[in-house]
Amino acid sequence: MAGHSKWSKIKRQKAVTDKARGKLFAKLGREIAVAAREGGGDLNFNPRLRTAVDNARSQSMPNENIERAIKRGTGDLPGVSFEEVTYEGYGPGGVAIFLECLTDNPKRTVAEIRHLFSEKSGNLGQSGSVQWMFERKGQIYVDSEKSDEDMTLEFALEAGVEGFDSEEGMYVMSTTAGEFHAVVESLREAGIPITAAELGMVPTTMIEVKGRDGEKVIDILNALDEHEDVLKVYSNVDLEEADWTEMESN
């Protein structure tokens, strides 16, 4: 099993259908700029940047936006300097929530995140309070309509994938954090049509929530995901089928 969660699936589908393209592109641009700042602007020598650019293109981010973000990161264009920060806490029903953020003002961001947790029946915790419930893994997504399963699995195993799962319309592969970029490059060279790839926090155990608690968890995850400084939201929530299906349609 790839170890992904239903919330992970919902986030990817929501990103594709969300009408707020401007906000999505702004977040993708920040990630590209930080990757370029840390490793340079050449995609051939900066795996993190190449992955960020590929993910942006999968969301139909215009090339000019991508090029501007790279130039801001390398200093060729003026721009705000963003800092990478993480926040951890608990949501309704005791679910763990881990946030990866990019911000130009950490004091403002933590105040706003703390307010969102409190407003949505959650609690912002100390550093390390929930991180132990997650593992950093590579997650690679392939459109099952564009790639044969047996062929994809064969190449995935040869590339070093440690987990392979099939869900609606998608093959989901997991890797160790250290092998992630090498596996992505191997799959690209093999001609596997990667839809998205990311290093993320995968929950080691899930917490099932039902009914009203499920609705509250959906509410807080949505609110955090929509915050402009929040790049990625991870949770160990296991929602009832009815709950997460309803969320996908919203």
pLDDT in tens, 91-113: 999 999 999 999 999 999 999 99
Confidence of residue 86 (pLDDT cuts 50, 70, 90): very high
pLDDT > 70 in the chain, percent: 88
Residue 21 has pLDDT above 70, yes or no: yes
| In contact, 36 and 46? CB cutoff 8 Å | yes
The arithmetic mean of pLDDT across residues 174-180, rounded, is 91
Crossing angle of the two packed helices 180-189 and 149-159, in degrees rounded to 10: 130
Query: What residue spans of 80-147 are helical by DSSP H?
Result: 106-119
C-alpha to C-alpha distance for 196 and 140, rounded to whole angstroms: 6
Strands 207-209 and 237-239: parallel
**pLDDT the model gives residue 41:** 93
pLDDT in tens, 71-83: 999 988 887 788 8
Query: Which element (helix H / strand E) includes 106?
Result: helix 106-119
**pLDDT the model gives residue 79:** 75
Confidence of residue 20 (pLDDT cuts 50, 70, 90): low
pLDDT in tens, 208-235: 888 888 889 999 999 999 899 999 999 9
Domains of the chain from N-terminus onward: 18-74 (1.10.10.200), 85-132+206-242 (3.30.70.980), 133-203 (3.30.70.980)
Q: Give the mean pLDDT of the chain.
A: 85
**pLDDT the model gives residue 19:** 52
Confidence of residue 1 (pLDDT cuts 50, 70, 90): very low
Q: Residue 172: count other Cβ atoms within 10 Å of its Cβ.
A: 21
What tokens does 121 get? 């029946």
The count of residues in the chain is: 250
